[in-house]
Amino acid sequence: MDKYSFILFHTELAPFLEKIQELGLVDITRESKAFDNISKELYSLVNRYSKTVKELTTLYSNLSNEIVTSLESSENHVGDNPYVLLENAESLLTSREQHIQELEQFRKELTESRQWGVLDQNDLAKIKELGYNIHLYTVSEKSFNPEWEETYPLQVLNRANGRIYFAILSDNNTEFRFDLPESKMPQRSYDIIEKKISETLKNITDTEREIATAYSSVQILEKTMYKKREELDVYLAGASSLKEAEGTIALLTGFAPVDSRTDVTTALEKDGVYFLLEEAQTEDNPPVKLKNGFFAQLYEPIGELYMLPKYGELDLTPYFAPFYMLFFGLCLGDMGYGLTILIGAGLAKLKFPSFKSYLTLAQFLGVGAILMAALSGVFFGAKLQEILPLPDSVTELFFSDLKMFWFAIIFGLVQIVFARMLNAIYLIINKGWQYGIHNIGWSIAIIWAAWMYATTMDPAITMPVWMDYLAICGASMILFFSSDSGNIFTRLFKGVTAFYDVTSIFGDMLSYIRLFGLGTAGAILGMVVNSVAMSLAGIPYMGWFFALLMLLVGHIMVLLLSSLGAFVHPMRLTFVEFYKNAGFGGGGRAFRPMGKELK
- Rounded CA separation 407/543 (Å): 40
351 and 214 co-located in one domain: no
Q: Are residues 370 and 509 in the same domain?
A: yes
pLDDT at 500: 84
| Residue 599 domain-assigned (yes or no) | no
In a domain, 594, yes or no: no
* Cα dihedral 572/578/583/588 (nearest 10): -50
When divided into structural domains, the chain yields a total of 3
**Domain assignment present for 269:** yes
Please say whether the beta carbons of 477 and 437 come within 8 A.
yes
Same domain, 416 and 560: yes
pLDDT < 70 positions in the chain = 9-11, 30-36, 39, 64-80, 235-248, 486, 596-599
Report yes or no on 235 lying in a domain. Answer: yes
Percentage of residues in the chain with pLDDT exceeding 90? 24
212: enclosing H helix or E strand = helix 190-214
Residue 112 lies in a domain: no
- Contact at 8 Å (CB) between 450 and 441? no
Question: Do 463 and 451 contact (CB within 8 A), yes or no?
Answer: yes
Q: What type of residue is 108?
A: K
Task: Identify whether residues 277 and 412 lie together within a single domain.
Answer: no
pLDDT score at 30: 66
Classify residue 231: in a domain, yes or no.
yes
145/137 Cα distance (integer angstroms) = 13
Residues 594 and 20 sit within 8 Å (Cβ to Cβ): yes
Question: Position 558: which residue type?
Answer: V
Is the domain of 74 the same as that of 28?
A: yes
If asked whether residues 315 and 458 sit together in one domain, one would say yes
511/576 Cα distance (integer angstroms): 10
Identify whether residues 25 and 88 lie together within a single domain.
yes
Neighbours of 597 (CB within 10 A): 13
The answer as to whether 349 is a domain residue is yes
Do 299 and 254 have their domain in common?
Answer: no
| pLDDT one-digit tens code per residue, 450-485 | 888 888 888 888 888 888 889 899 888 888 887 777
Report how far apart, in Å, the C-alpha atoms of 402 and of each of 408, 459, 513, 520, 523 are. Answer: 10, 17, 12, 11, 14
Q: Which domain holds residue 129?
A: 120-185
Q: Which of 249, 283, 317 corresponds to the end of one domain?
A: 283
β-strands 382-383, 242-244 pairing? unpaired
Q: Are strands 2-9 and 275-279 parallel, antiparallel or unpaired?
A: antiparallel
Same-domain check for residues 262 and 328: no
Q: Which is nearest to 556 in space by CA: 587, 533, 586, 589?
A: 533
Q: Are residues 340 and 461 in the same domain?
A: yes
Backbone angles phi, psi at 507, to 5 degrees: -65, -40
The reply to whether 276 and 298 lie within a common domain is: no
Distance CA 512, CA 399 (A): 17
β-strand 382-383 against 378-379: which pairing, if any?
A: antiparallel
Residue 598 within a domain: no
Domain closes at, from 229, 256, 283: 283
Domain stops at, among 231, 260, 283: 283
262 with 353, same domain: the answer is: no
